[in-house]
Structure 1
Amino acid sequence: GRPVDALNTWMVAAKIESGSVFRAIGRWGTVSRRGIDPQSVNAIIKQRVELAGLDSGEFSAHGIRSGYLTEAANRGIPLPEAMEQSRHRSVQQASSYYNNATRRSGRAARLL
């Protein structure tokens, strides 16, 4: 199935009905209600990238998050909808990724 289906199945099995999907796990295996911190997300990404045999210097949590917004812009997804997924609070920051994507793929760029 699709990754979204797998995630939904996992959330049902984990009995997660609200809040963060990826949660902190305490020393004794206790699952917290709070999400894992950004530094942990970054460390996990870098570790998994290395396990895949790729250069971890080319990947980061920020890169994935900003890359998501750029790809959303390229696919014509409205900024507010994309911000719901990326959890950006600043329209100014999120829109910078949209502006960059528009400059690369807009009508003016096609003249080059």
Structure 2
Amino acid sequence: MGITKTEHYTKSQNETAILLKAIAHPARVAIIEYLITTNTCICNDIVNHLPLSQATVSQHLRELKNADIIQGTIEGKAINYCINKKTIQKLEIYFKEIFNATAILENNCCGN
């Protein structure tokens, strides 16, 4: 695959791409869903919930944290993770814009 050339896209398009790339893995989707149901938890809780090693879960948590989708606070030797609501709201706005735009399209696109 070639160079993305991110400078050709808007800041918003680049930010959205980073977020979507970060969640584009089933383990990360599972982590997000788990954090939504538990509100906050430590890495070991997630390891016990998923069929993955602790090291693999940590890698996925790092990707989600780098994209600011989750946050972590240190308590003793443990890190409590939770969803970053501001980032999730950005995704919500993005998808609402897509849904609203497609709702007004005529149903004759590509023969549909």
Is this a same-fold pair by TM over 0.5? no
Which structure ranks higher in relative contact order (CA pairs < 8 Å, sequence separation ≥ 6)? 2
Normalised TM-score (structure 1)? 0.31
Structure 1 or 2: more strand by fraction? 2
Normalised TM-score (structure 2)? 0.31
